[in-house]
Amino acid sequence: MLRLDTRFLPDFPQAFKEHGPLLLQAREALLAKRKDPQSMLGWMDLPEDTETLRRIRRYREANPWVEDFVLLGIGGSALGPKALESAFNESGVRFHYVDHVEPEPVLRLLRGLDPRKTLVNAVSKSGATAETLAALLVFLNWLRENLGEDWRRHLVLTTDPRRGALRALAEKEGLEAFSIPENVGGRFSVLSPVGLLPLAFAGMDLEALLMGARKANELALAPLEENLPLKTAFLQHLHRHLPITVFMVYSERLKYLPAWFVQLHDESLGKRDGEGNRVGTTAVPALGPQDQHAQVQLFREGPLDKLIVLVVPEGAMEDLLLPQVEGLEGEAGYLFGKGLFQLLKAEAEATYQALAEAGQRVYTLYLSEVSPYAVGWLLQHLMWQTAFLGELWRVNAFDQPGVELGKRLTFALLGRPGYGS
Ligand SMILES: O=P(O)(O)OC[C@H]1O[C@H](O)[C@H](O)[C@@H](O)[C@@H]1O
């Protein structure tokens, strides 16, 4: 379950009511685009795609030998699976992410892997991302050199259904390949095979993940009073004059979730609107309790230029009771007999109160617990929030024209034909 707490923003309920017509209009405008195949709104339908889930299950069952799973992908092709796998890996399969181009860690990884037990998953929507193609060249060659003809069984591709270099390779070599629907962009693709395939190998409960996402869909279409994504989108909208939105997650298991959110928020919303105005707020990732001992000093006493979002689990699957230890009564006695989770919750609540007291604008999203269901709900919720904000801020939340120049300059520096000076 997902629950919103705005107790320190007393002006919110009234403002939300007043802006009701604007918000419903934004939702209508978004949903109207659903009919357009170019609209990139396919992420709304992913939680219903049980056929893909079945195919992924069959593939996972046909490959029980996998001990190491290497994911080659970057941005939207890596951040989602990484966030979920690190939270819910129960299979013992070891995961490795090559979402960079630094030679030493790649070499260290290659030296430590047994190719016979390794499955390589190259993931790219476009099939044109330099970092991913570079990693693919390295790993494809490594598999061929070590496994001979058997290399094909160790490489699986996740890419566009028709276009790009990965699709062409899959067809030429007869490789197993899963599709990212054409109308699903990278940062909205976590519930497509981009996430589902690795997560099947991690042993995550994918049905529960998708069921949670369906709940977010249901709420996004609900009337205003129950519409959680419109509420948090409005909270962001109401505070758009504050340049920073902090996304602080109180869960070690979800430590990579802020990075996923940062891409979703920043790359979707940081751009020029129809009139050429620069739009967007900067998402800052934070983790509780670690950042209480790092960033929270600034959050309390630094500039009042932030909207702070806390994501806090309300319950734990199991707690760990703190034992009494003789000699430590003085400093640690107050902890004796308390649960570790009790401490986590107290710290999150204390931070919430302390930030509000400092005059920062802050709200909390409570997860019933860190479960596939609740996290599936949260991810899809945040995608709806982002899409609604795109409408409110009059930007296309589904493109990224601002990263193109960097790519073209890289190609020119490396002498890619057609990109020379
Ligand atoms: O999945 P790919 O096509 O390889 O794209 C990977 C990433 O790189 C691009 O530059 C985009 O900025 C990101 O939105 C995308 O997630």
pLDDT at 35: 85
Say how many domains are in the chain: 2
pLDDT at 418: 85
CA nearest neighbour of 134 among 146, 122, 116, 149: 122
Among 99, 129, 262, name the best residue to mutate to test ligand 1's pocket (greatest count of ligand atoms within 8 A of Cβ): 129
pLDDT per residue as tens digits for the range 298-350: 999 999 999 999 999 999 999 999 999 999 999 999 999 999 999 999 999 99
Q: What is the ipTM of this complex?
A: 0.96
pLDDT at 404: 82
Let me know if residue 409 belongs to a domain: no
Task: Give the three-state DSSP class for 164.
Answer: coil
pTM beyond 0.95, yes or no: yes
Q: Decide whether any atom of ligand 1 lies within 6 Å of the 163 Cβ.
A: no
Let me know if residue 417 belongs to a domain: no
Q: Measured from the CA of 79, which atom of ligand 1 is nearest?
A: 16
pLDDT at 409: 87
Q: How far is the CA of 406 from the centre of ligand 1 (A)?
A: 12
Q: What is the mean pLDDT of each run of 10 residues along the chain (421 residues)?
A: 98 98 98 91 97 98 98 98 98 98 98 98 96 98 97 98 97 98 97 98 98 98 98 98 98 98 98 94 97 94 98 96 96 96 97 97 98 98 98 95 85 86 55
Q: How far is the CA of 136 from the centre of ligand 1 (A)?
A: 15
Q: Decide whether any atom of ligand 1 lies within 6 Å of the 289 Cβ.
A: no
Q: Which residues, 6 or more positions from 338, have their beta carbon under 8 angstroms from its beta carbon?
A: 321, 322
Q: Which residues, 6 or more positions from 129, have their beta carbon under 8 angstroms from its beta carbon?
A: 73, 74, 75, 77
Number of H helices, E strands in the chain: 17, 12
Which amino acid, one-letter code, is at 270? G
Q: Measured from the CA of 194, which atom of ligand 1 is nearest?
A: 1
pLDDT at 37: 77
Catalytic residue selected from 51, 149, 293, 331: 293
Q: Are residues 145 and 260 in the same domain?
A: no
Q: What is the CATH number of the domain that holds 361?
A: 3.40.50.10490
Q: Decide whether any atom of ligand 1 lies within 6 Å of the 372 Cβ.
A: no
Catalytic residue selected from 85, 131, 267, 391: 267
Would residue 293 show up in a list of annotated catalytic residues for this protein? yes
DSSP 324-372: P-TT-HHHHGGGTT-BHHHHHHHHHHHHHHHHHHTT-EEEEEEEEES-H
Let me know if residue 37 belongs to a domain: no
Q: How far is the CA of 321 from the centre of ligand 1 (A)?
A: 44
Would residue 329 show up in a list of annotated catalytic residues for this protein? no
Let me know if residue 351 belongs to a domain: yes
CA nearest neighbour of 386 among 177, 171, 237, 284: 237
Q: How far is the CA of 404 from the centre of ligand 1 (A)?
A: 10
Q: Are residues 18 and 82 in the same domain?
A: no
* Calpha distance 169→181 (Å, rounded): 18
Task: Give the three-state DSSP class for 67.
Answer: coil
Q: Decide whether any atom of ligand 1 lies within 6 Å of the 400 Cβ.
A: yes
* Calpha distance 270→281 (Å, rounded): 7
pLDDT at 419: 85
Let me know if residue 90 belongs to a domain: yes
Q: Decide whether any atom of ligand 1 lies within 6 Å of the 77 Cβ.
A: yes
Catalytic residue selected from 33, 255, 345, 407: 407
Q: Decide whether any atom of ligand 1 lies within 6 Å of the 125 Cβ.
A: yes
Let me know if residue 106 belongs to a domain: yes
Q: Are residues 169 and 258 in the same domain?
A: no
Q: Are residues 253 and 397 in the same domain?
A: yes
Q: Are residues 261 and 324 in the same domain?
A: yes
Q: Are residues 150 and 221 in the same domain?
A: no
Q: Which residues, 6 or more positions from 220, have their beta carbon under 8 angstroms from its beta carbon?
A: 27, 227, 228, 229, 230, 381, 384
Q: Decide whether any atom of ligand 1 lies within 6 Å of the 187 Cβ.
A: yes
Which whole-number Å values give the CA distances from 25 to 31, 252, 270, 388, 394, in the listed order? 10, 38, 22, 10, 12
Domain with 70, as residue range(s), is: 42-204
Q: Decide whether any atom of ligand 1 lies within 6 Å of the 76 Cβ.
A: yes
pLDDT at 421: 55
Q: Are residues 60 and 161 in the same domain?
A: yes
* Calpha distance 384→123 (Å, rounded): 24
* Calpha distance 274→307 (Å, rounded): 25
Let me know if residue 134 belongs to a domain: yes
Q: Are residues 62 and 180 in the same domain?
A: yes
